[in-house]
Chain A
Amino acid sequence: MRNVPDFLRPNKRNAWLAFVALGLLLLVLPFATDALLGRGWVRIVDFALLYIMLALGLNIVVGYAGLLDLGYVAFFAVGAYTYALLGSPQFGLHLPFWIVLPIGATLACIFGALLGAPTLKLRGDYLAIVTLGFGEIIRIFLNNLNAPLNITNGPQGISQIDAIRVAEFSLGRSQELFGITLPSVHLHYYLFLALTLLVIFISLRLQDSRIGRAWMAIREDEVAASAMGINTRNIKLLAFAMGATFGGVAGGLFAGFQGFVSPESFSLMESIMILCMVVLGGMGNIGGVVLGGVLLVVLPEALRNGAGPVQQVLFGKTLIDPESLRMLLFGVALIVVMLWRPAGLWPSSQRQRELEAHDGEAQQEQDTVYDASR
């Protein structure tokens, strides 16, 4: 600590400065990305935000409550298809975004509870396969519910979905705000950012609450938790429903952003991807999960764009097609990172270690304990 310059030492003022800097960075991010990397990358950043929301939702289920859910994408699908069906020419319904999104979230929540109620007494990996099966069931239905009655339009999916729009302000086209022209992807960015921050806020609050502690107790030792008087079934159900709700919200946003949904976006691989974000980043730790989400969206894209040119430079020709190389490197990265940091890149025990460092101060006064453990 001796050689650290003064302005880097953690204190209240520096924390504030860092906070403000981060806020400014997030505000200008789409413009900077647009200028430096191109508009396509702003889109990728938007997707990263969606996936962070998904990963944070799954984190409640897997990271907090310790329930291995391999079918999480089903709730994403429920949210997306709800939006698609209620806001597209498919049924000629064009309900506004602020009605459809809550409906999608509620439906996802109900699906979560419906799935959870009979299956949550299953232990560990049995739950994993049941959730996996559930995810597949939803996808198969989406794929096939075009005959005899056309509901989902089958594998073709639903297109021309309404853009996210509040009154006359549509995110689907460029808008002039305070004299600045904001393209559609930028507008989505700010909406997604706001909702991601909200999800982070909710996760943080839940984490340090009576319910959050009950989830973690179940994760740590379900038998002991029940012997301490926790109604494990209800509390697990709550985790499932909460996670599902987040998934439903992200799904609705996804549909409105893309303007198109098809069953292909909701495959098992997608569930696995979200799980990888949670575990790779650091289960149970919000910062870690955000990191995981960013990495797993940005890394493959970077590999996609970089794989071709780098080969050209190194070998003078393209040996492996970039798409394959991307997947290959991605798989290797998963293995290497997990071997190198089995608890994830940014595990939650970090927080605990920080707490331990403050041990001495924390118990000086009883009143401070409440704040110190936050």
Chain B
Amino acid sequence: MIHHLLVRILICRGKQRSPDSTKMVEMLFQQNTRQNGRPMVGPYRENNINTRRGDQWSPAQYKILVYNNRILKVRKMIVDKIKKREPSAKNKTSNIDIPVGKWIKCDKCKEIVYKDDVRENLSICPNCGHYFRMHINRRLKMILDEDTYKKFDINIDTNNPLEIEEYPKKLKALREKTGLQEAVACGTGKINGEEVVICVMDSGFMMGSMGVVVGEKITYAIEQAIALKLPLIIFCVSGGARMQEGIISLMQMAKTTAALTKLDEAGGLYISVLTDPTYGGVTASFASLGDIVLAEPGAMIGFAGQRVIEQTIGESLPEGFQTAEFLLEHGFIDKIVERKDLKETLYKLIQYHKGGSGNV
């Protein structure tokens, strides 16, 4: 966590402190940033005394805070240097937690934060609490019990129905870059011992868009949930139907939706988890059709994109429009669940649906 940063900063400044004082600082930072083994939100923040209600700060921790402020100033200088050196870092890193080098810029607070700190913190910005988008592998690790994920044996690829020359090239490049075959991973796994069918989408792969591969894999997963009599959980993140496959992508909305009618009739439980962002044809199909629809805080969720709406109505959109909180208020999701509570919440919900006619 932050002590790495501190040491790094001191090294950078060419003024490494004596081993003793470094050790002390490390220890105090550990106290400062971790509580009950859980990383705390906000250790970078200058006024972080009030960031968490009910936190009791010891005198030693206050000392650290003062020290922290000094570190922050030094850090800012370094960050400024990095910004100058890597002017493209902003575009490359965007909101996705695949950082350029060791640093990543938070889209919300615009701070450049240390990549490992974000990863250790469930891909949440340690500065402002903003949720970064998660790679499939990290999401699976977060939700499933260790070594329980078994991916379905379904290896398919698009036929490139519109014969767009650049499309296969783009897919190939993305496969190399992300280590993913497509924008969704499907398989079975366990949540606190409860076996489930799980699908996780990834915004890093063509914005999680749904073409024939995503549509077929989701449909297959739904069919497996019926056959294996297991609950189905889909983590949604998507810009919508995939342009490059034209009408074939659009038809995947009907395909996945039709498959869900079968799961419904079989009495199976389907929990849809909406993460940032979930839009278009995915919102207008399986994402909205969960028996229970959960969402992560602050996730952007909608049918039409914000720019399209602005152009149509000719005015700017109200604050908080299309956020998970907005959808909750308007009755379209059941519950907003913090990332740290997702696994436990899913487990509890599954327990409530046992003993029905269906798949749990």
Do A and B actually bind?
no
Q: Which residues of A contact B (CB under 8 A)?
A: none
Q: Which residues of B contact A (CB under 8 A)?
A: none
